[in-house]
Amino acid sequence: MKYVSTRGGLTPTEFSDILLEGLAPDGGLSMPSILPRIDSATLEVWRRLSYAELATEILSLFISDIPKSDIRALCEKTYNSANFNSEEIVPLKKINDKITLVGLSEGPTLAFKDMAMQFLGNIFEYVLAKRNTSLNILGATSGDTGSAAEYALRGKKGVQVFMLSPYGRMSDFQRAQMFSLADQNIHNLSVKGVFDDCQDIVKVLANDLAFKEKYHLGAVNSINFARIVAQVVYYFWAWLRATKDGAQRISITVPTGNFGNILAGHIARQMGLPIKRLVLATNENNVLEEFFRTGIYRPRGAEQTYKTSSPSMDISKASNFERFVYDLMHQDGAKVKALWDELADKGYFDLSEEKHRFEPEFGFLSGTSNHQDRLNTIKAVYEESGIIIDPHTADGVKVALENLHEGVPMLVLETALPLKFADTIKEAIGVELALPEHLSELMELPQHLTVMDNDVAQVRAYLQAHIQADDK
């Protein structure tokens, strides 16, 4: 399996190279040159597999430069009951006859990002050891990516993590979870801005190829395709658990901010997984919902990005959206580059002429949710089933209920456990959520962070001060 760039400027490259590279040298994102196809007979064989076994089979289709036996060992090291609070790893939880949750929050940071990040931590360490080199991860987070990355990479040999987060824009629990880590290889940089500002800084530094090479910069955000392919696994797992035969199709609703989680579903569908519809759910920052409704992509600036009660989706520039546009443009890198040049020049681009393809060809529908919707949905689900869902998952359930189709089971991807957003849960149903015993002291631990302005130069200077550069 070789990888190319969405903007056409990358010589076909092996998986381990794009793993360490992050953003492609031409500013684009890596994608497989050809997606593997899965037939119904293979799907039936996969029904018998554990999660680690299924991950081995799927990941080995995308990773041709690492022996399958080593991939199996990495998957077994990752997907086990020591790391995840469920023997199944990803349990399915039925809310009612219409909606089933896909439980993606059983990992150490209680969010779906653990599903990919725990694997990334192990494969980073494996590849770096094989190459006898080091890597400095530069990332941006709206809340859950940062903690998942830091918990996966803390103490790993050859890796330092520099994580940018928007100052004052995460929940108290998210801040405590990230900033309480005292490991020497973890650096939390709290930027006075919104998530998109953090993401823009990461992209500027990643596009400075001389700086990137000198300081061995890599990425752990979903701009790294390794994140995406690890997420593809749970779409197959969910379908295998929700169906009885290969003829049955399902629909899946995905709460979406940076488009990475639903992109994994798009890839699974393109591989042949019987998904009828992929329903995109946004909060008040509905740039993506607007695109799928109108065909116009118009990201918003920081002043127009709302602070909401589903903060991990407070994103107006979705990095992974470029990968979908690449498929929409028939994988023509020159067209994608032209669109992003137009975006930089005009602030938007118009693909409304392609709108007729969104659902019939790709299965995409979309919807949006607001704070009151969130509260109403959390309350309704709790009263009906006794299940408490987090605000992001509530956005998903609300939009899922608007897009049900007779005879097609609807799954909703759970994004986090509700205790990460205790204030909103209390507002919705009046319940005070207690921290589990192993996290009971988390909120009282000292926090380690560096606050800085929304300034590339400040971040650059911090990296220079804390990384031993390669001056060769």
pTM for this model (two decimals): 0.91
The HSE-up count of residue 334 (CA atoms within 13 Å, CB side) is: 0
Residue whose token pair is 């903060």: 311
Q: Which residues are catalytic?
A: 113
Closest CA to 265 of 250, 243, 286: 250
Average pLDDT, consecutive stretches of 10 residues, N- to C-terminus, the chain (472 residues): 95 94 90 96 96 98 98 98 94 96 93 93 93 91 82 88 91 86 92 91 91 88 90 98 92 95 98 98 96 97 90 90 98 98 97 98 97 98 96 98 95 94 95 79 88 96 86 46
Q: Which residues contact 57 (CB under 8 A, 6 or more apart)?
A: 46, 49
Say whether 162 sits in a helix, a strand or coil.
strand
Nearest-angstrom CA–CA distance, 100 and 390? 15
Asked if 23 contacts 204 with a C-beta cutoff of 8 angstroms, the reply is: no
Q: Which residues contact 70 (CB under 8 A, 6 or more apart)?
A: 126
Q: Which residues contact 100 (CB under 8 A, 6 or more apart)?
A: 92, 93, 94, 242, 409, 410, 411, 412
- Phi, then psi, of 88 in degrees rounded to 5: -75, -15
Predicted local confidence at residue 472, as pLDDT: 42
Question: DSSP class of residue 211?
Answer: H
Nearest-angstrom CA–CA distance, 412 and 393? 8
Predicted local confidence at residue 28, as pLDDT: 94
Please report which residue ranges of 283-370 form alpha helices under DSSP H.
287-294, 321-328, 333-346, 358-362
Nearest-angstrom CA–CA distance, 175 and 173? 5
Domain boundaries 92-110+228-429, corresponding CATH code: 3.40.50.1100
